[in-house]
Amino acid sequence: AALALLGGSAAAVVVWKWLGKRQIQKKMEEARRTRDEGVKKMAKVVQQFREQVPSVQTDAILSLPLLELTRRLREGSLSPKTVLYTYVEKALEVTQQTNCLRHFIPECEEQLQEIQRQEEKGLLYGIPISIKDHIGHKGHLSTCGLVQCLGTVVQEDSVLVKVLKSQGAIPFAMTNVPQSLFSYDCSNPIFGQTLHPFNPQKSPGGSSGGEGALIAGGGSILGIGSDIGGSIRLPSSFCGLCGLKPTAERLSQWDPGRDVCSRPAPVPGATGPMARDVDSLALCMKAVLCQEMFRLDPTVPPLPFDEKVYSSSAPLRVGYYDTDGYFPLPPCMQRAVQETRGALQAAGHQLVPFSPPRIHYVMTELFLKTFFADGGRAWLDVFTGGVVDPSLKSQVNGYKIPRLGKKLLALILKPLQFLLFLLNLKNVATISTCRSVKEMWNHHHEIQAYRTEFIARWKELQLDVVLCPVLGPAFTTGYPGKLLTAISSTMLYNVLNFPAGVVPVSTVTEADEEELKLYRGCCDDPWDRTLKQAVAGAVGLPVAVQCVALPWRDELCLRFMKEVETLSREK
């Protein structure tokens, strides 16, 4: 009888698990079906518009820079309706190639009517914009690529979306992200893998990868992403866009859609713009840094955009480095810094060698410890029903091993670097956790102490800004999950909470590809060899640099980015 009872209980558990999995599968299928129906509806609306207005100069509209497009919309030579449907049509084409959209926003048609009722034309009047999956828009999901978020519809627009709408912008699409946002690839089990718009073998980067693919493919002129380790800057680097991670508190973080994906941390996440040129980023910042945002979110310092700083042409004192000494980047990324340094010097700016202190310590003790202070338990909790994207499997499995087990494995396998690499345990095993509240306070203090040390070094050299590398060129899909620590170049400025932006300055040449064959990285270990494989076959893809300023000097960061962009275009 006992055996029969035991057998019955085991069978019940198996059935219960199977039903749970079946329910999860149904939820995922439903989400995909809703998305596909939305795409079909939008395609129908575009077709109807095309029949009503057959003479639209699509290519001419899509080729206009943002500043010129806003001018024409404001003067009335182009109508918001024409511009919206032109971009919707292009977005349909781009997502067919790249799978970059998570959902169209059908309420864009209501917003189209709303802006025509506004007394004053805002700075972004009639501009269609795309927003990253987790940025809250009323009536829509904010999924982070997670099954547990599929049932909860956002009840209110985030402050940023409200402000963009008040400035006349029309949010029309939400873009795809990697599962949990903690990856710089762009794949999740619900909506699948997003591909690079110029090379389907490559990743657009992440976590704002859907934005990167859509904007670079021409399906959006302005997008809003977020960045907690490089998530605006890496897709911008991979896709050849300009992207700004502002000082975190400069823009409102209030967002009902972000509860699951974000946790308060001493390393703050930032929301910021992505576009095809620096002027577009500046216009977006000018539009959102307005009284309406300061009114809706009193925690944002009421600092309007400083046009004088952005349009200044005074020579700058620029610190520079082409490697942070932690994860040496491919030759083309170092070349980009050296060429940009030369161009800035020739243009009359003062260039000073700069070396960021103790990056290994920052990466393991400050950055990763912030997110995995609890040994990764909070992160593991978001993977409902064990549905994990293949790109995250090795990391998730690594964090499931008890702390002592990880330490022992790391010790035993230390001589066998390749096995450590295969199990993705090098990073996992070396991450310290905070085992008490006191240790957590100490951790917060260490971050503050490092910021103080970094600023002291910056001031000692009397720098205005810093020029440095960014990870790139675009990785082959699947590789970002194997190389979490390769993001040291961007992660540093999240820990410091400095504004940092990315500007494309070149493309990968045949000579770069030849030089890559000689790349040995730091110690020619499996991680260095994997980086080499990840970026191989990138001839013609964008190569970017990173521009940095001190906290709250976002306009100076943009001004420096504009200078770099102008010089690279002249070249």
CA angle 559, 563, 564 (to 5 degrees): 120
Q: Strand runs (DSSP E) across 90-145, as ranges?
A: 101-104, 128-132
- Report whether 92 belongs to an annotated binding site: no
State phi, psi for 195 to the nearest 5 degrees. -105, 160
* 481 labelled ligand-binding: no
Identified catalytic residue from 27, 90, 121, 132: 132
Tell me whether residue 229 is annotated as binding.
yes
Is-catalytic flag, 207? yes
Distances (CA, A) of 307 to 277, 333, 468, 498: 17, 31, 25, 19
Measured at the alpha carbon of residue 304, what is the angle toward residues 299 and 309, in degrees to the nearest 5? 130
Q: Spot the catalytic one: 187, 231, 237, 488.
A: 231
228 assigned ligand-binding residue: yes
The strand order across the sheet containing 270-275 reads 101-104, 170-175, 128-132, 222-227, 270-275, 242-245, 500-507, 542-548, 465-468, 317-320, 350-353
3-class secondary-structure state, position 176: coil
| Active-site hit among 158, 166, 207, 394 | 207
Q: Is 181 annotated as a binding residue?
A: yes
Q: Is 132 annotated as catalytic?
A: yes
Q: Is 180 within any annotated ligand binding site?
A: no
Task: Round the CA-based radius of gyration of the chain to a whole number and report it.
Answer: 24
Cα 540 to its chain centre, rounded Å, is 22
- Name the region of 385 (left: φ>0; alpha: ψ -120 to 50; beta: rest): left
Whether the Cβ atoms of residue 465 and residue 549 lie closer than 8 Å to each other: yes
Length of the chain, please?
Answer: 571
Binding residues for substrate: 181, 207, 228-231
Q: Which residues are part of the catalytic machinery?
A: 132, 207, 231
Binding residues: 181, 207, 228-231
